[in-house]
Structure 1
Amino acid sequence: MLRHIDPILGPDLLHILRSMGHGDEIAIVDANFPAATMGKRVVRLDGVTATHAAEAILHLLPLDQFEPEAAFVMQQVHAPDELAPICVTFQEQVRAASDGRFGVRSIERFAFYERAKTAFAVVATGESRLYGNLILKKGVIEP
């Protein structure tokens, strides 16, 4: 065990987070997402919600301050102009982690899939809420 690190972040995921560079992206996805198909590197967090995974990752991962947007969610097919309830939670988490600098940007479902394919890694959670998918762009830690 390590201090101040959520125990859901095992050695594989910690290695991925540490290996990521500035501008790399990580996708946190729900149980319905085709993670094995989309991900170059996939870490499974079965039994963990996507919001819990996002909270733990955002505690460690700086967001890219050089970009206007650093967090992306999947648009709802039936209501593209509305954030899914879980995405509202993601937005609150991102705002808190970035001291209000960032919210989330909603992108079309297939555009989200294409972006996830290029992500450094995919974190497959046990999230059962629909549209429980979030992509985060890593920033730098300034001295």
Structure 2
Amino acid sequence: MLKNLSPLLSGALLSALDSMHDGDMLTLVGSGYPVEEIVSPVIHLGEVTTEAAADAILSVLPLANDDPAPIKFLDLAESPYDVPDVAFAVNGIASDAELRRIAMSRLELDDFVALARRSVVTVRVGSDAPPCAFLLRKGSC
């Protein structure tokens, strides 16, 4: 065990994060995300929440500065004003980790899947209430 490192950051996940280049994307999905849409290597974190996974990942992964919205989230809401609580939570976690305000943008399923197919790694969590998925674009330190 390393000091001050989340136990969710396994060797496989740390290796995947370390091998990412600036501009590469990581997809963070819950168990309800369609498996057939995942084309990148998958790292399973088990029965943890999306928020816990995001907190662990964003504690070591810098987000892109040159992207006005380095986090994209899957929008399954009926209303454009209905943002899931988990999206607010991930936004707060990202902003705290980056020590700056992080903007997020919402994508509908087809647009999200198209971008997720270009992701270099997918992190899957067992918690999926409500269904959620995020794309995180890596930046430099």
Q: Spell out, residue by residue over 1:23-72, the C-alpha distance to the aligned partner (whole angstroms, 9 max, x if none).
A: 00101101101246413111011111111000000000011112211011
Local SS of the residue matching 2:55 = helix
Q: Where in structure 1 are there 5+ consecutive unaligned residues?
A: none
Residue number in structure 1 paired with 2:89: 89
Aligned equivalents of 1:80, 1:115: Cα separation in 2: 21
Q: Is the 8 Å Cα contact of residues 30 and 128 (structure 2) preserved in structure 1?
A: yes
Instruction: Determine what percentage of the aligned residue pairs are the same residue.
Output: 26
CA distance in 1, matches of 2:81, 2:110: 16
Matched, 1:44 2:44: yes
* Counterparts of 2:99 and 2:8, CA distance in 1: 24
> Residues 78-116 of structure 1: CA distance to partner in whole angstroms, max 9, x if unpaired?
224321111111111122122233122111122111111
Residue 96 (structure 2) pairs with residue 121 (structure 1): no
Unaligned runs of 5+ in 2: none
Paired residues of 1:84 and 1:131 also in contact (CA < 8 A) = no
Q: TM-score, normalised by structure 2?
A: 0.92
1:134 corresponding residue in structure 2: 134
Q: Is the 8 A contact 2:73 2:107 kept in 1?
A: yes
Deviates more, 1:78-87 or 1:45-54: 78-87
Matched with 2:67 is 67
Aligned length: 141
Question: Partners in 1 of 2:37 and 2:105 — Cα distance?
Answer: 24
Would you say the 8 A contact 1:92–1:103 is kept in 2? no
User: Do the aligned partners of residues 99 and 31 (structure 1) sit closer, same or farther apart at CA in structure 2, a change above 3 Å counting?
Assistant: same
TM-score by length of 1: 0.91
- Quote the Cα distance in structure 2 between the aligned partners of 1:91 and 1:131: 16
Superposition misfits of 4+ residues, deviation over 6 angstroms? none
Q: Give, in whole Å, the separation in 2 of the partners of 1:132 and 1:93.
A: 16
